[in-house]
Amino acid sequence: MTDLPRYTVIIITYNQEHLIQRALDSVLCQNEQLYEIVVSDDCSTDGTWEAVKAYSDKYPHIIKPYRNKKNLGVFKNLAHAWEKVSGDIIFTCAGDDILCSGLFDKANELIVKNNIKYQKEDFVLLFDFKIFYTNGRERVFSNALVEKHNPLSLKIRNLIFNRTIGVSYSVHKKQYAVSEDLGIYTDGLLDIQCHRFAKNHYYMPFVGSVYYSDIGISSKTAEKKHYESRCLLMRRFQKENYFSADDSQWLRFSELKYSYLLQPSLKKLRPYLAMFFKTFTFKYGLHFATRQSWHFVKSLKALLK
């Protein structure tokens, strides 16, 4: 196949000396359109940097290693890596995750099938991803709803995921670093950007990456911190003008939900309850409606603690 894009993969890493090799191998096994792997090490204190350097010495024309002079944190590290890419389509992989074999081949199929002008068009490619849990259970998350609904609406409802997403360089250039620290979900401000700037979304039902649960930063964050960060993110999104009226209502509902979970009280329950019924819908499928109902019922138990 000719006239196909050059693929860049960003790998951000910190203190993952026993995992980074797995991530690098998963990228190196992709097809010949692999153009570069941009690795940004956030000033690791273990042997991560040495492992990255060993790989870059072996693949000097593909792996571009960068090491921050001081620890920037996961979100600033990612934004820092954004500045280093030059391929036509950019994927991102955490140092403790992997890309699945054949991902770039499937991306090429999408490009040919849809006659995508990858050097000019503002687009993203979406695939599914799998979670492996520490108890041996696994689960596949699908991005199929992007074929029926607005991606911004789906993203704020956690109905599509950026775990396996290829971003065109033209969209990538429009993304920007965020200065606000909203906690663990600051990445929400980063994740939303590609969907905001992309004019077209293309999806294929293929598991393109694997996420290993309970080993990343989010697994080590207390529940209260999760609620605080979610609440702050919902408030921040409400300042933007690119969401629909329905989405703005959902953001307000989500803010009320996490504010209530932080400090359960009858006073906070009333507006949360009212907004729940105001935003309840089967628009996104029975599974989503059922999930939201279950989460609401479960949240009521917080008053009993």
DSSP string, 58-92: HSTTTEEEEE-SS---HHHHHHHHHTT--SSEEEE
Whether 184 is in a domain gets the answer yes
pLDDT one-digit tens code per residue, 126-184: 999 999 998 889 999 999 999 999 999 999 999 999 999 999 999 999 999 887 889 99
Domain-embedded: residue 143: yes
Q: Assess whether 16 and 88 both reside in one domain.
A: yes
Summarize pLDDT for 71-119 with one digit per residue, the tens. Answer: 999 989 998 999 999 999 999 999 999 999 999 999 999 999 999 999 9
User: Is the pLDDT reported for residue 219 higher than 80?
Assistant: no
Residues 299 and 232 in one domain: yes
Please state, for a pLDDT cut of 90, what percent of the chain lies above it: 87
Q: Which pTM does this prediction carry? A: 0.92
Same domain, 167 and 211: yes
**Which residue, 199, 219, 239, sits at the end of a domain?**
219
Same domain, 138 and 285: no
Residue 98 lies in a domain: yes
Pair 17, 150 in one domain: yes
pLDDT in tens, 225-263: 999 999 999 999 999 999 999 999 999 999 999 999 999
Per residue in 277-295, pLDDT (tens digit) is: 999 999 999 999 999 999 9
Task: List, as one string, the DSSP characters of 243-277.
Answer: S-HHHHHHHHHHHHHHHHHHS--HHHHHHHHHHHH
Domain boundary among 186, 219, 252: 219
69 lies in the same domain as 110: yes
DSSP letter at 208? E
Cα distance between residue 15 and residue 52, in whole Å:
11
Average pLDDT, the chain: 94
96 and 188 housed in the same domain: yes
pLDDT band at 215 (very low <50, low <70, confident <90, very high): low
The pLDDT of residue 69 is above 90: yes
pLDDT surpasses 60 at 217: no
CATH code, domain with 24: 3.90.550.10
Domain presence at residue 2: no
Boundary-marking domain end, from 219, 252, 283 = 219
Under DSSP, the state recorded for 17 is: T
Q: What pLDDT score does 1 carry?
A: 43
Give the pLDDT of residue 179: 79
What percent of the chain has pLDDT above 70?
Answer: 96
Q: Residue 123 is encoded by which pair of tokens?
A: 């687009």
Is 17 found in the same domain as 165?
Answer: yes
Give CA separation, 244 vs 63, 119, 151, 241, in Å.
Answer: 41, 30, 12, 8
pLDDT in tens, 255-272: 999 999 999 999 999 999
Determine contact, residues 66/49, Cβ cutoff 8 Å.
no
Residues 232, 171, single domain; the answer is no
Closest to 201 (Cα-Cα) out of 166, 153, 173: 166
Give yes or no for residue 216 having a pLDDT over 60: no
- Which DSSP letter does residue 97 get? -
* pLDDT at residue 2 greater than cutoff 80: no
State which residues form the domain around 25: 7-219
Same domain, 113 and 258: no
Count: domains in the chain: 2
205 and 81 fall within a common domain: yes
